[in-house]
Amino acid sequence: MDEQQALWIPSNNYFPKRVGHRPRWIIVHGTAGFTSAEEVGNYFQQADVSTHYTIGRDGVIVQSVREHDGAWGNGGVTEGHDHWWSRSLNPNNVTISIEHVKPHRDNSDELTDIQKLVSFQLIQRICDRHQIPKRKADASGGITGHSSMDPVHRSFCPGPYPWDELFAFLSCPSTLK
């Protein structure tokens, strides 16, 4: 596993070795259902979908795919996507995906305080491991929501996320620990 404190619930739904690509973006997701990270991890063992990580409302982290592999979490790139995504490149091979448990199907749930802190810390460590820019995504990399590449089918993903607080944490992480 890549995260020492994560619970490993592996999924077989991944692209081995990212087909030669490296991660440049972190994609933030909301689960649009489910009540725990473990429940999502178990679902990823049965369904044709996965993400690298799921963060529960209690702060539990489940890892389902190793970071050196591409998870099956992003689907395709749809009309209206941010300009740096290309339909000719599978976005799963250049991203690390993090689900956040949100029980409501419309992803309207706010993150819990512990979920938010764990998310910020995980994102920071992933950025450090892969030299992903610790800022809002652009063509060079960074952090964004699933709706960035799929505004047609995932306009509600991740739902409310404290972006300003995340970027403040990443620019000065010692102030919020």
Domain boundaries, the chain: 7-175
pTM of the model: 0.95
Residue 4 CB partners (closer than 8 Å, separation 6+):
none
Token pair 């050196």 is found at 68
Kindly report, residue by residue over 14-48, the tens digit of the pLDDT: 999 998 999 999 999 999 999 999 999 999 999 99
Say how far apart CA 172 and CA 57 lie, in whole Å: 24
Among the residues of 25-154, which ranges form H helices?
A: 37-46, 113-130
> 173: pLDDT confidence band, cut at 50, 70 and 90?
low
Strand 53-55 to 95-100 pairing: parallel
Kindly report, residue by residue over 140-163, the tens digit of the pLDDT: 999 999 999 999 989 899 999 999
Class of domain 7-175: alpha beta
The two tokens of residue 69 are 């592999």
